Amino acid sequence: MLRSKLKEVWICLKAGRVTLPYPLGPAPALPEGFRGKVEVDAEACIGCGACANACPSRLICIGDQGYRRTLDFHLERCTYCARCAEVCPEGAVFLTPEFELATGSREDLHIRVEVYMATCRRCGRCYRPASPLDHLMVTGMRDGEGK
């Protein structure tokens, strides 16, 4: 038994101190591909809603007001699974390495994206225009006469 105890002490002392003083010291380096906070590139978003469909926490809410589609990301519910990033056809949603997200107010973790869509003349629902030129006209970037 004594041998076991001495071996234990030896193993322990040989290992040294392995704890890091974080947060009083720097955070350890994160691996590439670490799944942290979700960010959205609002300019690239086309409002397709694939992310809302895929999210297991159902945190993405889509609302339409006329031709303005709003996507609300309630990231306090996020589980960092990266399904939204995986299914986004435009690469507009991606995960960053940011993990220090504790906050006292939920609004800090809300992202709102507004996308201007075309609306169907018959039913009034939003859709994404087929042509990039149409898209530019709808978003007001181009004059209606096609110039």
Partner 1 sequence: MSLSLPMAIVNVGLALLLSPLLEGIMRKLRARIHSRIGPPVLQPYYDLLKLLGKEDLRAADPWLGLAPILALASTLTASLLIPLGGEAPLGGAGDLLVFLYFVGISAVAVIFMGMLSWSPYGFLGSSREMMLYLTVEPVLFVALITAAVHARSLRLYDLVLWNHAMGPQISTVIAAIAFLVVLQAQLGRLPFDIAEAETEIMGGPSIEIGGPRLALFRWSVEAKLLVFTALFVEVFVPWPKTFQLLPDLGLTLGKVLLIVVIVAGIDAVNPRLRIDQALVFFFGVTMVSLAGLALALVGS
Partner 2 sequence: MTIAELQAQLTERFGEDLTRMEERAPGKLSLTVQPKVVRALAAYLFTEIDCRYVVSAGLDRREGSQEFAVVHFFARDPERIAIDVNVFLDGGNPQVDSITPVVPAANWAEREFAELLGITPLGHPDPRKLVLADDWPTGMHPLRKDFPHDLRPEPVEGVAFEPKEPPPGATVVPIGPYFPVLKEPAYFRLFVEGEQVVGCDYRGFYVHRGIEKLGDSVLTYNQIPFLAERICGICGFVHSTCYCEATEEAAGIEVPPRARYIRTIMLELERIHSHLLWLGIAGHILGFDTILMQAWRIREPVMWLCEQISGSRKNYGMNLVGGVRRDIPPELHPKIEEVLARVEQEARAIVGVVAGDTPLVMRLKGVGPLSREDAIRLCVVGPTARGSGVDLDARRDHPCAAYREVPPKVIVREEGDALARTLVRLEELLESIALVRTALAQLPPGPLMATCDGAIRAGLEGSCFVEAPRGEDFHYVLTGEGNRPLRWRVRAPSYPNLQAIPTMIQGQMVADVPIALGSIDPCFSCTERLETVDVHTGAVLVYGQEELLRMTREGGRCR
Contacts with partner 1 by CB under 8 A lie at 5, 8-9, 12-13, 15-19, 21
Q: Which is nearer to partner 2, 56 or 124 (CB)?
A: 56
Q: Is 82 among the residues that bind partner 2 (CB under 8 A)?
A: yes
Among candidate residues 34, 50, 127, the one with its CA nearest the CA of residue 88: 50
Q: Taking CB within 5 to 8 Å according to partner kind, which of partner 2, partner 1, none is near residue 17?
A: partner 1
Q: 3-state DSSP: the chain helix, strand, coil percent, rounded to 5? A: 25, 20, 55
- Chain positions 23 to 62 lying near partner 2, rule: CB under 8 A, are 30-31, 33-35, 54-56, 58
Q: Which is nearer to partner 2, 34 or 112 (CB)?
A: 34
The count of other CB atoms within 10 Å of the CB of residue 136 is 13
The count of other CB atoms within 10 Å of the CB of residue 13 is 8
Instruction: Tell me the C-alpha distance between 91 and 41, whole Å.
Output: 8
Beta-ladder partners of 127: 118
Q: Which is nearer to partner 2, 44 or 87 (CB)?
A: 87
Instruction: Tell me the C-alpha distance between 104 and 101, whole Å.
Output: 10
Least Å distance, CB 5 to partner 2, is 7
Q: Residue 138 corresponds to which tokens in the numbers above? A: 């709808």
Q: Which is nearer to partner 1, 24 or 123 (CB)?
A: 24
Q: Taking CB within 5 to 8 Å according to partner kind, which of partner 1, partner 2, none is near residue 121?
A: none
- The answer to whether the peptide bond before residue 132 is cis (omega within 30 degrees of 0) is no
Binding site for partner 2 (CB under 8 A): 1, 3-5, 7-8, 11-12, 15, 18, 30-31, 33-35, 54-56, 58, 79-83, 86, 95
